[in-house]
Amino acid sequence: MIVIFPTIIFICFLNNEKALRSINKVWVIIAYTPFAIVYTSLFIIINAVLIPFAWLRAFIHKITEVSQGCCSKNKKGHEDLSPNSDPKDLLIFSILGVPMLVLS
């Protein structure tokens, strides 16, 4: 705040648009870089912590899809509504699920 008031007074009397743009760019970098660093770091840390839970939840969901898909094929009159209820998809997700979640 101590720096802002003299800067505002200085900017009010400055009529050079190029100088105003450069001053604005500097102040924006000074003002928003710490917030960007903190928020990006928190996002990465929280995302890394939650990836195993997301994988576990998705893996359990895949298991239920595969088991319901196999059971519904044995019953007459029921169609398999889920295209991902193949055991092969469960195997692929169990191996490649974590890298897919990390990339997303």
Task: For residue 6, name the pLDDT band (cuts at 50, 70, 90).
Answer: confident
- Is 7's pLDDT higher than 80? no
The predicted model gives 70-91 an average pLDDT of 61
| pLDDT for residue 9 is more than 80 | no
Asked if residues 86 and 67 have their Cβ atoms less than 8 Å apart, the reply is: no
Of the candidates 81, 60, 85, 83, the one whose C-alpha atom is nearest the C-alpha of residue 70 is 85
11-59 residue pLDDT tens: 777 788 888 888 889 888 988 999 999 999 999 999 999 999 998 998 8
Answer whether residue 63 shows pLDDT above 80. Answer: yes
Query: Tokens 């710490």 appear where?
Result: 34
Q: Could you tell me the residue range of the domain that residue 32 belongs to?
A: 4-103
CA separation for the pair 29, 93 (Å, rounded): 42
pLDDT value of position 102: 84
When pLDDT is cut at 50, 70 and 90, the band that residue 69 belongs to is: low
Structure-token match 């990339």, residue found: 103
Query: What gap in Å lies between CA 86 and CA 73, rounded to an integer?
Result: 11
User: What pLDDT, on the 0 to 100 scale, is given for residue 24?
Assistant: 82
Return d(Cα 57, Cα 63) in angstroms, integer: 10
pLDDT computed for residue 94 by the predictor: 84
Q: Alpha carbon of 97 to those of 12, 17, 18, 57, 63: distances in Å?
A: 56, 52, 51, 11, 13
Total domains in the fold of the chain: 1
